[in-house]
Chains A and B, each alone.
Chain A
Amino acid sequence: MDAILLQFLNGLDKGGAYALIALGLTLVFGTLGVVNFAHGALFMLGAFCAVTFNKLLSLEQVVLDETKKTAWGTATEIRTPYIESWFGELGSFLLDYSVPVSILVTIPVMLLIGIVMERGLIKHFYNRPHADQILVTFGLAIVIQEIIKHYFGANPIPQAAPDIVDGSANIGALFGLGDNIVYPWWRLVYFGFSATIIASVFAFLQFTTYGMVVRAGMRDSETVGMLGINIQKRFTVVFGLAAVVAGLAGVMYTPILPPDYHMGMDFLVLSFVVVVVGGMGSLPGAVLAGFMLGILQSFASMTEIKSIFPGIDQIIIYLVAVVILLTMPRGLMGREGVMEE
């Protein structure tokens, strides 16, 4: 029982990441009708926003202390981050909380990147075949990836979670289930964070006038355009929003998985499977499938299950995708007439 609950929790944070990326993919697909293979690169860029922010914060001032000598007879170096010497307490607080605080930086950056990408490239591909869209965004993803690799190197760069959530939570004790269920705090935070983001995206689409127009545009952009609304502009904003969602998913994922340049591609392939399983163009489907596949994956990596079906943890997602696509042609919650020529 404990093991099952633990695997369930394990699946939630991974599922959260899948769901966030898949949500963005689906938003873009639903509004612009573009299959964006560079979405994983946006996830990765978000993660590197956090890395850059942290690097900037931890720029250090080196002071030589002549009174203390090291074993080699040279003066001791005292390193203090500039931010601490400038702001004192607040500085060290910022440094500790660099991952969550970098969200504030990431949002405008990703919004800008998303809008530039849409206006600069994607705009010209609305009416091209899906194969062309896949290919050009695939090329873009390679370019982004290589640029990041050039500046940050090929090795993963670990990021620390804030001290307060660095340890593990004794979930079992919280719910009165015994002391065996211990789980890292940050992963719980990540799950809560992704749930919040998903909820706010849905709320934005469901309860604001802007969101209503976007939803109407997803159904029939021509009619909305005839009503005198510049639907294209709103779709561009939605693309930016999708980029922000992917970026935020990346930022918060850095303490779980040290970011490297190809993390985007790794997640993209899985997220695409998630989108297709959920049903192209269905937002709830994407979220549902994201969490479902995340949880299934973590269950498949249990030793008990692996001993019955060796290797199942490696292929479970793809296996589920194959089965679902063959039995339910439109995925779990796909609408009729989407992506069916």
Chain B
Amino acid sequence: MRLEPRPAPGLPILLALPVGAILVTVVIASLLVLAAGASPLAVFGLVLKGAAGTQFALLETLTRATPLIFTGLAVAVAFRAKLWNIGAEAQLYAGAVATVVLGTGALPFPAPVLIPLLIIAAVMAGALLLLGPAILKTRFGVDEVVTTLLLNFIMLLFVSMLLEGVLKDPMGLGWPQSQKLIAEARLPRIITGKRLHYGFVLAIVSAVVVWIIMKKTALGYEMRAVGHNPTAARFAGIPVNLVLLKTAILSGGLAALAGFSEVAGLKGNLTLDLSPGFGYSGIVVAMLAMLNPLGVVAAAIFVAGIFVGADAMSRTAGVPSYIANVMVATALLTMVTAIMLTRFKVRWR
């Protein structure tokens, strides 16, 4: 078997890619559903209904999509410059910690002042956390895949330490959880009584801003140039290391917004299960979107829909909701394969 490069594919093929990947995913997941002794048609019907069948389901999917949009954008931005940030999970928690530290009464300001301050603090915390690995990479050539991945575990243990120590809620009956945010620090709900909050709006705005940065600004151009060919970029006078550091700030900041929005919009406090792997799912989302910031929104809603739909389905059909993990993982693999197939022709000897 050998791979041969192909000319650049047109837009229709690019759009067909994720659709094809999803179809293949459904076929593969069907086999598993059959193995679990249920009818694939019924199961997928239930998943679809659970994800978008009712107003409640749809709002739930969008709520779940919110952190995924942020982490997906973080990964898309970094991967574009070939800065392999696998640490969106840790940056998410950094944002959440900053939100809790400053949002539980330390800053007695009204909401219109406090919320922007919390956003800035969260972004700075996430950016700082990714700056470390980025500096190690640019100064000493340390592989950022290793450092960012391992920081995820360090961060989780650090949060655990905080929640057992200085950040522990004295009224929490001994549970490792932080105090609740003060009311001024909370993001309002979009529809009263429903869980969807203004974090979702912030996510959409972020996606548009990132799209503009990548497409229209000098910084986005520099990031793409550095990602495609750092040697040529350096020769042409682009400060490659500086661009990588700016990328790290942008990427880490975006991931941290996921933590801010989950705490301030949804949970109200910080616990160790704030993120069921949103940072890692962000990689899937970014790949499904082919690193396009607007595509990230669609991909995040799709991935969120599978998780939310599978939860609902497992309650009625008795197929374990793990099927959602399998589907998301399969979607990633088929998508990566599909991307490869558009760039290369496979020839069997």
Report if A and B associate in a common complex. Answer: no
Q: A: which residues have CB within 8 A of B?
A: none
